[in-house]
Structure 1
Amino acid sequence: MRAHLARFDPVIVQAVIAGALSFSHLHDLAEAAGQGGWKAWAYPVSVDLLLVAAWRRMREQQRAGQPAGGPRLWFLVALAASLGANVATAGLLDLEHVPAPLRVVVAGWPAVAFFGGT
């Protein structure tokens, strides 16, 4: 009987790296926007969970031959939040002086994520 050896999967490695960097950027943006402590750590979890949940639901509906517009929309909303944080923390935004509209968006995210997840 041959032992099953795990094989190296560069896609998994890339996903872990991308996830870690995105998580860090979302945390940094939330913290800069006034969401300190545990709240700054919860933001990246919220965005990433919405991405995963929407992706899974979209794939399930596609496999069942059903339209997947709703899950696709929420996937794109979460992707925009992730991408926005990545870009904002790349030096394009002064993290010491986050504009009020962005603070409002960050503060409102939990409700948006809950709505999208349900």
Structure 2
Amino acid sequence: MAAATATAASADAPKGGAQIQSCYGSAKNYKAVGDGSTAIWPAGTAWARTTSNCADINIKVNYNRHVKVCYRHGCGDYQYAKAGEWKVIGNNVPNGWEFYLEFSGGNDGTGKVAY
């Protein structure tokens, strides 16, 4: 009986993993542009817009960086993102919200973003 329960539970397990894979599968490459003190993506006056692909805003930096997400109504705090690892920087963000990413330090940066 215990084996049947474990098998049923493990059958449900991939749902979360599949959703994460789908979200990261929609990731876009980014290039943040710096002005000497901060770097921004998307560059200029553009805003990115959250989608139904992901419930969160996720970033995978190519170099260790401090990054924060800014919405029309304000910015969050800087969070440390480690190179090569996915980091959630905006939790449970509604679809259609406009945002940009701000990186500490003025250096340009690259990586992936999924939202």
Query: What TM-score does the superposition give when structure 2 sets the normalisation length?
Result: 0.30
Q: Which has the higher helix share?
A: 1
Query: What TM-score does the superposition give when structure 1 sets the normalisation length?
Result: 0.29
Q: Which has the higher strand share?
A: 2
